[in-house]
Chain A
Amino acid sequence: MSIWFSIIIAGLINYLTRLVSVLAINPKKMSERTKKILTYVPSAVFPAIIFPAVFLNQENQLVQLNDPKVIAILISFIIGIITKNLIITILGGLITFWTIIFLI
């Protein structure tokens, strides 16, 4: 029962983190500078999800630079810069990754 209770509490808190800003922030009172800073939110949050998943192994140690994940993410980074296309960037990275782990 205690696990169920914990899951519900965690779910409530998780939901509140999504709701609080939407509900409490009045964008009319937001300064232009704050709005400008908020345009960087994706660039500030997503790399913290990307980097550990690519550059750390299961023992939380840095991987080698020739690790398939590192090479594939660099290739998809370059594809992203060139194409600015979300689907091509994902597929390009995935094909590179599979090519390295299965063919090389």
Chain B
Amino acid sequence: MYSKSNTFFKGVIDVMPLMIPVVPFGIIFGAIGIELGFGPYLTYATSVIIFSGASQIVILQLFSAGASSLVAITSSSVVSTRHLLYGAVVSQHLNHLSIYWKIGLSYLLTDQAFAVSNEYFKKNNDNIFKHYYLVGSGFTLWFIWQATTIIGIFLGSIVPEELGLTFTIPLTFLALLVNYLRKIDHLIVIILSGISSIVFFDAPFKAYIILSSIIALIGATILIKIKKK
């Protein structure tokens, strides 16, 4: 009953609600790139070359503030280190694939594509075409991100600021955790990571994301040990 196409389209459909923040954020990003003076080509190129909203914003903001290339590259790279953890999780489901598949799929491994694919892989472990789910969800995100960046570049800030749509970013990430909210061990890890991110927010090179993630995973390790006893 599993096929390449129905697995692909399941990914496309499941990722649709996550477009609620992606659409305005893409437009805002395109507009910011122009406002900061980077021009249409460079602004758009970051969406293809970096393809990670958070890293793109960080690098353009640092450059416009006069930071050196080294600082800008380091910060945007430190922000991306969380992908190492995503890769470790999905590697358990992609290991049987050829190196070409892995090289292609990795480009699509964004926060949202990881989150929905991880849930799908766990529930449909027997689907031999399950990687098509990551293709469907990842490509949809890629396409919408490219399209909205271009819209933002040409039309500017057409998203009214009063709507406060940047709030949809944390909201979506919370929604991506719905399956874990009833589990007390996960709740502890969530709160540990959240508090750490506030405490270490001023850490150099935007390291607070990876720092908080590591602290929370150490907490998870301890929780697993306690549970065993």
Contact = CB atoms under 8 A, between A and B. Distances in A.
B201 interface: yes
Question: How extensive is the interface on chain A, given as a class?
Answer: 35 or more
Contacts, number: 265
B224 A19 contact: no
A90 B155 CA distance: 27
A45 B106 contact: no
B212 interface: yes
Main secondary structure of the interface of A (DSSP, over half): helix
A86 B55 contact: no
A30 interface: yes
A14 interface: yes
A81 B175 CA distance: 10
Given A7-B49, A10-B72, A52-B197, A23 B102 contact: yes
Interface in B83-122: 83-92, 94-95, 99, 102-103, 105-107, 109, 111, 115, 118
A90 B38 contact: no
B205 to A, nearest CB: 12
Interface string A43-76: 1111111111111100010100000110011001
B159 interface: no
